[in-house]
Amino acid sequence: MYVPPHFSVPGKETLIRLLPGASFATLVSTGDDGVPFATHLPFAYDEKRGEFGTLVAHMARANPHGKCLEDREALVIFQGPHAYISPSYYATDINVPTWNYVAVHAYGTPAIIEEREKVRELLDRLTFDNEKDRAAPWRADQLDGKRLEGLMRGIVAFEIPISRIEGKAKLGQNKSAEDQAAVEAAIGTLWK
């Protein structure tokens, strides 16, 4: 990711701030033919496992992307708040249209999780992350055991220990204080 110095933010800390709202991310890998493959998935993040943390997710076993996960680096793209910025928002008239946004790119080599107990832990974690704020959170143990086992056989669970992480917050830091205030008045604050 191209990150000019004035838009650079700490990757790990930015990812923590983005989650859980930006936990639906894009996993990008390359196959044996070198062609990129992208899958959109919900991710859970364990910030305490590894220097930059570890991501966990799963995909349908039928998805061919699962066959190119191990033994090669993958990229997970998290997109945070973003907005189109019209030149008419600025106080000065020397600007052009742009887009303000926050994004995190996390890199690492996926490892398939085969152990049934660890797959179940992963499913419970993903479910908890997405259900915790509901009045009556749903849990996987509400499913019939036989059905749950069948569903677990139909997925590829994996984790990605993050080896490198980049954060970018392009929010007009390269603009004058007057222009920054005018954009904030026009659209509100994307990121505080």
- Dig out the tokens for 11 from the structure: 């990757």
Q: What is the pLDDT of residue 32?
A: 86
Q: What is the pLDDT of residue 21?
A: 85
Q: What is the pLDDT of residue 191?
A: 85
Q: What is the pLDDT of residue 71?
A: 87
Establish if 190 belongs to a structural domain.
no
Q: What is the pLDDT of residue 67?
A: 92
Establish if 191 belongs to a structural domain.
no
pLDDT in tens, 151-169: 999 999 999 999 999 999 9
- Dig out the tokens for 135 from the structure: 């009045």
pLDDT in tens, 113-135: 999 999 999 999 999 999 999 99
Establish if 145 belongs to a structural domain.
yes
Q: Tell me the CATH number at 179.
A: 2.30.110.10
**Can you give the pTM of this predicted structure?**
0.93
The continuous run of DSSP H or E covering 118 comes out as helix 116-131
Instruction: Tell me which residue range forms the domain holding 73.
Output: 5-185
Q: What is the pLDDT of residue 192?
A: 77
Establish if 112 belongs to a structural domain.
yes
Best CA proximity match to 111, nearest among 49, 171, 22: 49
Q: What is the pLDDT of residue 145?
A: 87
The list of the chain residues with pLDDT below 70 reads none
Q: What is the pLDDT of residue 168?
A: 97
**Domain count of the fold of the chain:** 1
Q: What is the pLDDT of residue 119?
A: 95
Q: What is the pLDDT of residue 64?
A: 94
Complete edge-to-edge strand list for the sheet that includes strand 24-30: 8-9, 164-170, 98-108, 74-85, 24-30, 36-42
